[in-house]
Amino acid sequence: MVIKNLNAGIFKIKIEVGNYFELDKSDLFIELREPTTQEALSLSKGSEDATIMFNMMPSLIIEHNFEATLNETTGTTKPMSNKEVWKLCMERSVCATEMVEQWSQNIPLANRKLEK
C-alpha cells in the first residue's frame, strides 16, 4: 500500500495568538504538531518537563503567519523563522505559557495519560 500523505495521522493544533500582539486574536496563529517518539521520550525522562517543552517549541511549529518587515517604504515582508516566532512569544510570558498549556493538554499522549 502506498502512503499518499506522509503527515496523515499526525496530531496538529492551531493556536490563535493575535491578542498578545495588540491585534484581533484570529489575526496571528501558530500551528504545532505532536512530538515525535524521541521528543516524547525526552519529555517523560525529566522532572523539568516545562523547560524541555519551552525549548522544544520552535521545532514543533509546522505553520504560522508571522511576517517581518523588510522595507518600511515599500511594505515588503518575509515570513519569520520558527525560532523568531517563538522568541517573540517568549517575550510575552502569558502567550508562551498558554501555547505550551494548550499544546500539552490536547496532544493525544496527554489524553492517554489522563484516561489511565
87 within some domain:
yes
What's the pTM? Answer: 0.82
30 within some domain:
no
Q: What digits encode the pLDDT tens for the residues 1-40?
A: 777 777 667 789 999 999 999 999 999 999 999 888 888 8
Domain that holds residue 97: 54-116
pLDDT at 86: 97
Are 54 and 89 in contact, with CB atoms under 8 Å apart?
Answer: no
15 within some domain:
no
36-43 LR contacts (CB < 8 Å, sep 24+): 40/109
pLDDT at 48: 63
14 within some domain:
no
88 within some domain:
yes
Q: What digits encode the pLDDT tens for the residues 30-72?
A: 999 988 888 888 877 655 667 888 899 999 999 999 999 888 8
| Number of domains the chain contains | 1
CA distances from 51 to 20, 43, 58 (A): 21, 9, 13
Identify the residue whose cell numbers are 525560532. Answer: 83
